[in-house]
A and B are shown apart, each in its own frame.
Chain A
Amino acid sequence: MTNITINIVNAIGDVYGVEAEDGQIVFELIVKAFNDKKKITLSFQNIEMLTTAFLNTAVGQLYKDYPESFIKESLKVSNISESGKVALKRVVDTAKLFYKDPEALKRSIDEISED
């Protein structure tokens, strides 16, 4: 496996990673590189603002199609801010649970209906 770096600022043309649409661009680049058997460093250098909506689409949805172990092995992040790390970790943990237990949302609807 060869290594490549995806520079988010360059990929989305912005230092603000906030919109879900921009996250989709990053997601598609990661998928393309995974399919080409590349190891990826996702560089957050110069990113000034992140939302969980952006990170959900950019990274979270990888857990739908790729096993956790594969992602852990193939994806690294660099130059991410402390608050960015916190948000990304939360997005990743949420995504893992979401794809493991797709019925959880339906259950939460039932619970609130009974309140």
Chain B
Amino acid sequence: MNTLCNIDNTYASYQKIISLYETNKGKIFDEIHVELKQWFAANMSATLGAVLDKLTADFNTIYFDYISPKIETVLQKNDFLTYFGKQRAVDVNNTTIKFQKLKPTDGKFFKNYVLEELIEDHDAALPQMSQGVKERIVEAIYEIFVNAQIHSNTEFIYTCGQFFPAKNKIEFTIVDTGIGFKEKINQRFGSKLTAVQAIKWAVQDKNTTKEGISGGIGLAVLKEFVEMNKGKMQIISREGFYQYDAKNEVSKEFKGAFPGTIVNLQFRTDDNSNYLLKNEIDIDDIF
């Protein structure tokens, strides 16, 4: 039995999901029994979904033997459990951002998802979010999605999120089951970076693995925005864990490895900063 207990957005929780993967990754044509107890943060559905998908790709069957009632309600509302044979439930509070499994080529579909889940549906639930912040949040989410499209060589991209109106927060998670930062960077440069070093390199401005074309701006811009917004970003790629917020930068290694990359973003929705004041640029002085 694989029991996941108290899963939120901490290093320890990611470690629990990685351990579940490591325990079961050699199995073929087997049954994998899972229990979800006490608490499970809605946006972690993307992480768990990616791991369970890797296991079902080896013809294993997933059984949720027990899900605590509170968790079950959340995971029915955000559609996660509809992928595992449970009935969908209506989210009357309109605070979920649905679990979604997309192909990297589903860019147009992702656009509709973002419009429906982040922009249109939640207007009533989020009167305090200024237009400027909303735009920056959506931009950040796009940058991450496009990164997964371009860099990860993944088969699917998993996304999920949650609004917390009382805490003025939004969490959004994008997961792929692709190559990971370390392998990608080391292949490109013939280097031997660790997973943590690879993530730290990738979040630095102007660093890119693309050949013949500049880049490396998306993650750097995201980091700057996270700092101004007093939000938080986490990147989990293979054995590497990296967390950044306005106060702290934390990096650690996991025991075992996540089979891809997770980018988890937390933003404050009550941020009234004007992000453009300092940046007036003459349109004739761009090139």
Q: Is A37 interfacial (CB-CB < 8 Å)?
A: no
Per the bound structure, the CA–CA distance linking A8 and B62 in Å amounts to: 46
Question: Which of A19, A68, A75 is B146 in contact with, Cβ under 8 Å?
Answer: A19
B187-207 to A contact mask, C-beta < 8 Å, 1/0: 001011100010011001111
Q: Is B93 interfacial (CB-CB < 8 Å)?
A: no
CB–CB B284/A76 < 8 A: yes
Count chain B residues whose beta carbon lies closer than 8 angstroms to a beta carbon of A. Answer: 44
Q: Among residues 35 to 94 in chain A, which have CB atoms less than 8 Å away from a CB atom of chain B?
A: 49-54, 56-57, 60-61, 63-64, 68, 71-72, 75-78, 80, 82-83, 85-92, 94
Cβ distance B102 to chain A, nearest Cβ, rounded Å: 13
Per the bound structure, the CA–CA distance linking A109 and B255 in Å amounts to: 25
Closest chain B residue to A24 by CB distance? Answer: B213
CB–CB B135/A83 < 8 A: yes
Cβ distance A59 to chain B, nearest Cβ, rounded Å: 8
Q: Is B139 interfacial (CB-CB < 8 Å)?
A: yes
CB–CB A109/B201 < 8 A: yes
Count chain A residues whose beta carbon lies closer than 8 angstroms to a beta carbon of B. Answer: 49
CB–CB B149/A19 < 8 A: yes
The interface residues of chain A lying within 8 Å CB-to-CB of B57 are: none
The interface residues of chain A lying within 8 Å CB-to-CB of B248 are: none
The interface residues of chain B lying within 8 Å CB-to-CB of A106 are: 189
CB–CB A83/B275 < 8 A: yes
Q: Is B147 interfacial (CB-CB < 8 Å)?
A: yes
The interface residues of chain B lying within 8 Å CB-to-CB of A16 are: 111, 142
CB–CB B206/A20 < 8 A: no
Closest chain A residue to B202 by CB distance? Answer: A112
Interface segment out of the listed B34-42, B214-222, B259-267: B214-222
Closest chain A residue to B140 by CB distance? Answer: A51
The interface residues of chain A lying within 8 Å CB-to-CB of B218 are: 51-53
Question: Which of B107, B149, B276 is A83 in contact with, Cβ under 8 Å?
Answer: B276
Per the bound structure, the CA–CA distance linking A99 and B215 in Å amounts to: 11
On whether A109 and B185 interact (CB within 8 A), knowing A20-B150, A51-B139, the answer reads: yes
Cβ distance A69 to chain B, nearest Cβ, rounded Å: 9
Cβ distance A17 to chain B, nearest Cβ, rounded Å: 10
Q: Is B91 interfacial (CB-CB < 8 Å)?
A: no
CB–CB A86/B281 < 8 A: yes
Per the bound structure, the CA–CA distance linking A20 and B150 in Å amounts to: 8
The interface residues of chain B lying within 8 Å CB-to-CB of A105 are: 189, 207-208
On whether A71 and B287 interact (CB within 8 A), knowing A20-B150, A52-B215, A108-B201, the answer reads: yes
The interface residues of chain B lying within 8 Å CB-to-CB of A78 are: 283
CB–CB B214/A51 < 8 A: no
Q: Is B87 interfacial (CB-CB < 8 Å)?
A: no
The interface residues of chain A lying within 8 Å CB-to-CB of B275 are: 83
Q: Is B85 interfacial (CB-CB < 8 Å)?
A: no
Q: Is A18 interfacial (CB-CB < 8 Å)?
A: yes
On whether A113 and B215 interact (CB within 8 A), knowing A19-B149, A53-B143, A53-B146, the answer reads: no
Closest 7 CB pairs of A and B: A98-B214, A52-B217, A95-B214, A53-B146, A72-B287, A85-B281, A82-B276
Query: Can you give 29 contacting A-B residue pairs, CB < 8 Å?
Result: A14-B111, A16-B142, A18-B111, A18-B142, A20-B146, A20-B149, A20-B150, A49-B142, A51-B142, A53-B147, A56-B215, A56-B217, A60-B214, A80-B283, A82-B276, A82-B279, A83-B135, A86-B279, A89-B281, A90-B217, A91-B214, A92-B286, A97-B214, A98-B214, A99-B214, A105-B189, A105-B207, A109-B185, A113-B192
Given contacts A72-B287, A89-B286, A105-B207, 7 further A-B contacts (CB under 8 A): A19-B107, A51-B139, A83-B135, A90-B217, A92-B287, A98-B206, A108-B204
